[in-house]
Every structure is written in C-alpha cells, then in structure tokens.
Amino acid sequence: MAKWHDYLGAQIASRPDARAFTDDGGADWTYAKLDKAIDALKDMLLEAGVQPCDRVVIVAENCAAAIASLFACSRLGACAIPVNARQTEVELDRILAHSKPAAVLFTSAASGDAVNHGERMQARGVSGSFGAMQLATPFDSAPDQMLADVAVMLFTTGTTGTPKGVMLTHENVRFGGRTSAELRGMTQDDVVYGVLPITHVFGLASVVTAATYAGALVRLEARFSAARLYEQLNDGVTLFSAVPQMHALLMQYAKEQGFDHLPQSVLRYTSSGAAPLDPAWKRKAEAFYGVAIQNGYGLTESTAGVCASDNVLGDPDISVGPPLPGVEIRLDQAVEGGGDQVGEVQTRGPHVMKGYYRNPEETAKALDGEGWLRTGDLGRMDDRGHLHIAGRCKELIIHGGFNVYPPEVEAALNDHPQVIQSAVIGKVVQGDEKVVGFVQVAPDDAPNVEELRAFVAQRLAGYKRPSQIIVATELPAAPTGKILKHKLLDFFADQLN
C-alpha cells in the first residue's frame, strides 16, 4: 500500500539539498534536514512505546516541527491527529477522550497555547534535530487495526457534544495532494504561502501534501496577519490559497497602506475556498491580485477537494467549478425546502473518508452503501456542469414561507465598499425565522445600519433582506479565518432583538 510519506521520500531521494519548509520561527529546512527530523521523531515515539495503529495527537500551530511530526507518524504506521493549539481545554479533552492516543506532541517552540496545554498535561520537554517540543505519555491506549490504512484523523469543529474524528486514509491524502498540485500546475520553482492551518484539511492536503508532491517550497506561518501576508506576497510567493476572509482582510490592510494592488508581486495562482464568492467581490480581488481568483469546494470528509474552477482572469464565473478528475457528484432533490433547482450535494470517489472513528451511527448517516457522501450542503448545477453552492442544509432560512440562502444575502452585504466581510443566519421567532446579518467593518470606516439597509434593498427581494443588521469590527472566527456562524447569536446576544 502506497503511503502518504512516499511523496516526501521521492523528493528526499532526488533533491535532498532543495529547500522544503521554512517557518516564522527561523527554521529553513532542506529535504535532507526534514528527513533527519522525521527519523528523530519517529525513534523518539518508538522509544515512548508508540506502535503502528496507535494514535498520536499533535497539538500544533504551523511550523516545521509540526510537519516532521505528521510524517514521523506516517513512517511509524501510527495515525496522526493534528489539533490546533488554539482549541480550548474542553475541546482538546474531548478529542483526547474520544481518540485515546498513545502520545501527545506539542509544538512548544511555535505556540504559547501549545505550551499551556503541555504544562497542563505534565508533558516533558524533548529536543533533537526537529527542534524543541513537548511530549506527554503514557496513556491508557492500544493499537487499533481499523487504522491500518488511516494516515490522519481530523476532528470536525463547530459542533456540540462528542466530536467526530474523520478518518482519512493514506490514499485519501495522496489523492487530495496530488490533485491539488496538478490543478495548480505546481512545480519545484513555486513558493507557497502556508498560513492555512495544517491542522485543517485545506492546509494539510492542498498546501502541505500538494507542495510535497510537487517539490515546492512552503513558507509556514503560525498565525494569520494581513501585514505579514502583504509582505510575503511582495517577496516571491507564487501560490496563495486562502479562505475569503483572509483575502478581505488583506485588501483592507492594503487600502489602509494606500495601495489598491500588489506592487511587487510574482503571484501566479490564488484561490478561495470554504465560503462562496460574489461577482463584485471577485472583480475587486482580481484587480487587486492581477490574477484570476479560483474557487473551490470541499469538506473535511472529502479530503478538502470536490470541485474547483480553472478560470481565466476576468471570467465572471462564481461557481465552484466542475468536479475534480476522478470525483463524482450528484444532487439529492429531496431536500426539505430545497425546491426544484437546489438539492443536497453528494459525492463519491477516492477523496471520500473512510468514516468517523468509533462512531458507526454518524458514519451510516454520512455514507451510503454505494460510497456516496452526504455533504449537508445545498447546491445546483449549471448548464456547463459547474456546481454552485447555495448554503448549508441546516443554514437554509425559511422566512415567511420563502427559502432564503445566506450566501445570496451575504453577497449583497459584501458589495458595500465599507464592508470587509459578512455572515447571515436565521433566528427562530414564533412561527417563523428572521434573517439577521452581521457585518465586519474597519473601526474608522463604518457605515450606519440604515445606509446598509438601503443598499441591500436595491439588491434583494423584500423577504431576503435582513430584519436586523449588526455592525462590528470583529466577528467570531476559526483559526482558518472562517466565520463561526454558530457563535454569532451568543457573541452578539446583548445587541439582538
């Protein structure tokens, strides 16, 4: 069976002195140095009692040591469970209780939050060619043969109760990385900006694995900063994948610096994922970058990729593109409230997860007997075979008997020149749902609510218009920058009516 780390092995064998990963802590690793760090971590885990089919939780923020830890698990035959160090104690403890790991690694040199978690778990300091880390052992754990073909387990976020561990096989991750690299035309000459968390499937598959497959250099950043991103995009970065919120904050930062474009960029590819585009925003972003904005769609359970666009600069297409090579999609038209044109997106192929770890009930809900994954997302197909995402099944708002899709309302709000980004949700009221909009603005450049109401009134039918608009300088967000919609009602509880 081909393993995830085989891609890396090919680069080590053919290009040992080529640069592989840098990070904002000063690491500058060639493939040969990465190889030594991986072996050192593998040996350390073996000495700590970790066996094939064991679980190893890696509490991390982006850094070279985290990369070495992931591949060390792959070489050992253990299942890596990367977890963002910014998770709370409660969130991390739930993951530990569910996965029952044999060891927990902490990227202490790159993350103060990782240090705090490590100290709480009485981890000991370890060091070697991989740098300085913390390691916690032993735990009440045992190898699980179910994981023999599983490379990584990623826990889904944004839910309550018991977390779901998505089992991604070696072939899942290999397929996701190879497909991403080929879609982007990645080569050994590319420089990839790695700010998407590698503890998230987007960063893991479409950045780390894709770059490893192609032999591109990745510049890792532990945390997103619009200023740092602006600097890097003017200093040799050729590929940049992001979520829309990162693009929006970058353009706002550039505007504050007096620039409406990137003055010294060699960027040749940029993409947006995890949220829909709208035409006005896309035109603005393409003018800023000087290259086409590619859109994509995927989820943790599909190893990031389902569809992706390959448009030329100026193409008005705002779909997420056609299915990736080897990927099938279909629409289930029987979604409640979906209407005749919109259905639940389902997908099948080598990108679909093995299942949820130790959760056969949820696995059965997500996967049918023919291998189709129910995504929980609503979509429609256009006459070119491109997919358009209408929103989440659970996020569909039914207001006054009419279907309201949040992305359409968000697109109208985002068209306003003073709006950085927005989020729209439904708030249950007696016998109905009302549409509530949340917009992020710059502290010194905020439109008033009535101005926003008048603005969207020109763009939306009456039943789609927010009954309340809350203006803020910050919205609750995940480490990826994606807005956490499930936290909006609590976050702004004192302002809601």
What is d(CA 432, CA 437) in angstroms, rounded to the nearest whole number?
16
Name the one residue in this structure whose structure tokens are 């497959």: 213
Instruction: Place 249 in a pLDDT band, splitting at 50, 70 and 90.
Output: confident
What is d(CA 286, CA 432) in angstroms, rounded to the nearest whole number?
39
What is d(CA 246, CA 74) in angstroms, rounded to the nearest whole number?
31
Q: What is the mean pLDDT of residues 59-78?
A: 98
What is d(CA 32, CA 54) in angstroms, rounded to the nearest whole number?
27
Query: Which residue ranges form the domains of the chain, and what is each CATH number?
Result: 6-171 (3.40.50.980), 224-392 (3.40.50.12780), 396-495 (3.30.300.30)
Is the separation of the CB atoms in 320 and 386 below 8 Å? yes
* Pair of tokens at residue 89: 């104690």
Instruction: Place 263 in a pLDDT band, splitting at 50, 70 and 90.
Output: confident
Cα-based angle 182, 185, 186 (whole degrees, multiple of 5): 95
What is d(CA 367, CA 375) in angstroms, rounded to the nearest whole number?
9
pLDDT of residue 334: 54
Q: Are strands 293-297 and 79-84 parallel, antiparallel or unpaired?
A: unpaired
Largest CA distance in the chain: 66
Mean pLDDT (the chain) is: 91
* Pair of tokens at residue 114: 């990782």
pLDDT of residue 399: 79
pLDDT of residue 398: 73
Q: What is the mean pLDDT of residues 293-308?
A: 93
Output phi, psi for 151, to 5 deg.
Answer: -85, -50
What is d(CA 406, CA 395) in angstroms, rounded to the nearest whole number?
7
Q: What is the mean pLDDT of residues 12-25?
A: 97
| Residue 14, SS3 per DSSP | helix
Residue-wise burial string across 124-149, b where 16 or more C-beta atoms lie within 10 A, e elsewhere? eebebebbebbbbbebebebbeebeb
Is the separation of the CB atoms in 281 and 305 below 8 Å? no
Q: For residue 23, list its beta bridge partners.
A: 220
Per-residue pLDDT reduced to its tens digit, 407-453 = 888 888 988 989 989 999 988 877 678 899 999 998 888 888 999 99
Q: What's the one-letter identity of residue 375?
A: T
Instruction: Place 338 in a pLDDT band, splitting at 50, 70 and 90.
Output: very low
Per-residue pLDDT reduced to its tens digit, 192-232 = 999 988 998 999 999 999 999 999 999 999 998 999 999 99
Per-residue pLDDT reduced to its tens digit, 374-394 = 998 889 999 999 999 887 777
Higher-confidence residue of 485 and 329: namely 329
**Residue 187 clears pLDDT 60, i.e. is over it:** yes
